[in-house]
Amino acid sequence: MATRQLLPEDWESVRSIYVEGLTTGDATFETEAPSWEKWDESHLGVPRLVAVSSTGGVVGWAALSPVSSRAVYGGVAEVSVYVTDAFRGKGIGKALLKQLIAASEQKGFWTLQASVFPESIASLTVHKICGFREVGTRQRIGSINGIWRDTLLLERLSEIVGND
């Protein structure tokens, strides 16, 4: 499985994978996929990664979003990792997350966060394998389809950046 930088031409595949996540009900509070312009605006320019199958199709993606516009949080970002249904359970999410972590440290990020539904066991497992720890439960943080949901807040502190 190869990975590379996500390009605008990948959007339809990235969007399709995101829609698969939406349909699970356990990936995001969003109920519809955004336009490329909105997605592009809400995610940091780099790193943005895609996993590509041996046939060249995009089968997963990972990107960072800022957590705040305040300068003090400039090195803190939120992680998004999505893998298409047919390729889940094959280590692609873990590979993408590990590469996203390495790339984020090269860009000077010292803390990565993830907000994960407690029912999303695979996501929790992958994040913990990659060095994230659970820092708390955000109870009734948002409503989706009329149901209030909790999320677990996970974070990973860099061992390279922010230790001075």
Q: What is the mean pLDDT of the chain?
A: 94
Task: Indicate whether 163 pLDDT > 80.
Answer: no
8 A C-beta contact, residue 155 and residue 112: yes
* Prediction pTM value: 0.93
User: Which two tokens mark 69?
Assistant: 């516009």
In the chain, the domains with their CATH numbers are 2-157 (3.40.630.30)
What is each CA distance from 110 to 10, 31, 35, 96, in whole angstroms? Answer: 28, 31, 29, 18
Chain segment 57-111, per-residue pLDDT in tens = 999 999 999 999 999 999 999 999 999 999 999 999 999 999 999 999 999 999 9
Cα–Cα distance for residue pair 78/34, rounded to 1 Å: 17
Strand 58-66 and strand 111-116: pairing? unpaired
- Which residue, 77, 89, 48, is CA-closest to 154? 77
pLDDT at 140 (0 to 100): 96
